[in-house]
Amino acid sequence: MKAAFVRCDPSPTTLMIERRVFLNSSTTHFPAAQMSGFRIPRERMVERLRDHYGIRDVRVLDAMREVPRHLFVPDALQSRAYGDHALPIDANQTISQPYIVARMTELLELNDRSRVLEIGAGSGYQTAILARVAAQVYAIERIGDLAREAQARIRRLNIHNATVKCFDGTLGWSAHAPYDGILVAAGGPEVPEPLKAQLKIGGKLVLPVGAVREAQRLVRVVRTEQGFEHEDHGACAFVPLIGRYGWPNEQ
């Protein structure tokens, strides 16, 4: 049976933003019972990221070793959670391939003082990885059920420096701007202008961009004193970014 997914109000201005006391990521300890499974596949995944894909940032590799990816995929797919591929999640969306998660995180060049915006939280896995390497993560997901589940997973893992809300992420989240890093996990036709405007000087925006939905390039935009520098980081394939500065919703 196909579930009906509730879409949320697309306007960030209508959100009640909660005030929370956020803990630094280094104080987060995952519940032991949730960490016990899949240690060996997780370690193999990290070796592959380092030795085959050339991921160098030790903090990114540590985060990939620590976050229990199998808790972010449907129960029936848990045994495939650490494979070298994307997997389907609810609402016809996907959890990105581990390499893509690690590479995009590495390209943001974050540290433990960084404030990050994530668009397309999906399962919440990328959110959890970002929360390990940054001080604070603000995540947006346009599908209400996914946003609620992602937030619940993050809380069950005792992660308190990330929050997931439901609205159109192509607008950014101006209340917490400017950001050191912005990561978009869905592909649109161009770089959304509001996201560029919400970057700090020196901040980095990593996202897939493609003039057609099927052919995308992974792009990094760096904000400098003079303007914006664009770098191409190769071909990639993401689900569509749907919203005001993305693709129209064709359902």
Q: Which of residues 172, 181, 210, 243 is near ligand SAH by CB under 6 A?
A: 243
Do residues 84 and 48 touch, judged by C-beta distance below 8 A? yes
Taking the least distance from each CB to ligand SAH, the nearer of 27 and 174 is 174
As a whole number of angstroms, the distance between CA 107 and CA 192 comes to 18
- Residues 167-206, interacting with ligand SAH (CB under 6 A): 168-170, 185-186
Q: Is 96 in the site for ligand SAH (CB under 6 A)?
A: yes
Taking the least distance from each CB to ligand SAH, the nearer of 67 and 221 is 67
For residue 128, the minimal CB distance to ligand SAH (Å) is 9
As a whole number of angstroms, the distance between CA 199 and CA 209 comes to 18
Q: Which stretch binds ligand SAH (CB under 6 A): 34-42, 89-97, 207-215, 223-231?
A: 89-97
Active-site position among 11, 25, 96, 114: 96
Nearest to 49 by CA among 127, 101, 96, 111: 101
CB under 8 Å to 132, separation ≥6 — which residues? Answer: 25, 28, 59, 62, 63, 66, 67
Q: Is 242 in the site for ligand SAH (CB under 6 A)?
A: yes
Q: Which stretch binds ligand SAH (CB under 6 A): 45-53, 62-70, 116-124, 205-213?
A: 116-124
Please say if 36 is a catalytic residue.
Answer: no
What is the full DSSP assignment across 48-110?
A: HHHHTS----HHHHHHHHHS-GGGGS-GGGGGGTTSSS-EE-STT-EEPPHHHHHHHHHHH--
Q: Exposure string (b/e) for 153-170, b if CB count within 10 Å is 16 or more?
A: bbeebebbbbbbbbbbbb
For residue 225, the minimal CB distance to ligand SAH (Å) is 29
- Residues 140-169, interacting with ligand SAH (CB under 6 A): 140-143, 146, 168-169
Site for ligand SAH, rule CB under 6 A: 89, 93-96, 119-120, 122-123, 125-126, 140-143, 146, 168-170, 185-186, 239, 241-243, 246
Catalytic positions: 96
